[in-house]
Homo-oligomer: A and B are copies of this chain.
Amino acid sequence: MFVDWPLDQLRDYLPTRTEPDDFDDFWAGTLAQARAAESTARFEPVDAGLATVRVYDVTFPGFAGQPVRGWFLLPRDATGPLPCVVEFLGYGRGRGLPHEWLTWSAAGYAHLVMDTRGQGSNGSMVGATPDPDPTGLPQTPGFMTRGITDPQHYYYRRVFTDGVRAVDAARSHPAVDPDRVVVAGISQGGGIAIAVSGLVDGLAGVMPDVPFLCHHRRATEITNEQPYAELVTYLKTHRESVQRVFDTLGYFDGVNLASRASAPALFSVALMDAICPPSTVFAAYNHYAGTAKEITVWPYNGHEGGAAFQQRRQLDWLRDRLGAPAAI
């Protein structure tokens, strides 16, 4: 069943944005601090059991210069600089093993998969990046409410900064054409991609699928599904913190970040998705400031969205935008 408004109403939904006055300063300061780290990205070749792909175990400096892990894959015979897809992950998943990430290199792209700090222990793909948290504020199990009473210590401040620095890391690799970097991701990965789109200039594309982390307040009011439900559980306990929590989230809402983006974008949304309800996705999409934008609507899908079908649309959309990758 459809979980939200009819499609026509969704297409027109443009809620007023709620954002703190120092939004841009907050992010400028955060990124400046991160980029002040002395370390640089390391790409260590690994034997992943593969033949047509070169695989590198990446460690790059993320938030506050902390080490963030990832995989970097290149078509084995690539010669010139390649366009690169920087991919962020769904909630709870880690970077897993390299052979779980073969699509973009098989299509001729460089591909950097960013591990999500602290995640990757939920029974699916394994993670390898710590999330040092010297404050350790009480939180609901999960990641949505880690440090949520203070924007400086909120978990997604660290993650979004990692995302920006992942783009920096990709651009620093000689096999990558820095003008043709694209960010992408599904669910939480889509939310990070939107955040990065609002914080980084010169991206060649943004591809958020059924993105999470947008319009949190409405999400808590219309769905019981995880992970937005972590917010509800937190507020159910910390009854006095409602305003404070949403004040913090103002710095991290995909709606606000999308309003600062400029790159071409291909979104997706699913009308039976109770995890990332359509109105929260359309709120971000309709505020997305890049003018070359489109959104694929999957009417009979839940949070799986278009899955491989959406990926195929992305392959075609990128080829149209960037031309076929350089000869391999």
Contact = CB atoms under 8 A, between A and B. Distances in A.
Interface of A: 1-2, 49-53, 75-77, 92, 94, 96-97, 99-100, 102-103, 105-108, 117-143, 145, 220-224, 232-239, 242, 272, 298-302, 304, 306, 308-309, 311-312, 315-316, 319, 324-325, 328
Given A52-B52, A236-B302, A237-B126, A145 B121 contact: yes
28 contacts: A1-B224, A2-B221, A49-B107, A50-B315, A52-B76, A53-B106, A94-B237, A97-B309, A99-B311, A99-B315, A118-B136, A118-B139, A120-B138, A121-B234, A122-B237, A123-B236, A123-B304, A125-B237, A126-B237, A126-B238, A128-B138, A133-B134, A133-B136, A236-B301, A236-B302, A239-B298, A239-B300, A239-B306
A138 B94 CA distance: 9
Contact of A312 (B99, B220, B223, B232): B99
Contacts of A100: 308
A226 to B, nearest CB: 10
B127 A138 contact: yes
A159 B147 CA distance: 20
A97 B238 CA distance: 12
Chain A at the B interface: SS class: loop
A136 B130 contact: yes
A177 to B, nearest CB: 16
A130 B121 contact: no
A120 B233 CA distance: 11
**Copies assembled:** 6
A222 B1 contact: yes
Contact of A133 (B107, B119, B133, B224): B133
A204 B132 CA distance: 40
A155 B134 CA distance: 14
Which one of A132, A134, A141, A143 has the greatest number of beta carbons of chain B within 10 Å? Answer: A141
Given A121-B145, A122-B237, A308-B96, A242 B299 contact: yes
Given A2-B222, A130-B138, A236-B300, 6 more contacts: A52-B77, A52-B105, A130-B135, A133-B136, A141-B141, A235-B299
A106 B99 contact: yes
A174 to B, nearest CB: 20
Nearest to A308: B97
Nearest to A3: B224
Given A102-B102, A106-B106, A239-B301, A138 B125 contact: no
Given A143-B141, A242-B300, A106 B102 contact: yes
A133 B153 CA distance: 13
A107 B272 CA distance: 37
A189 to B, nearest CB: 17
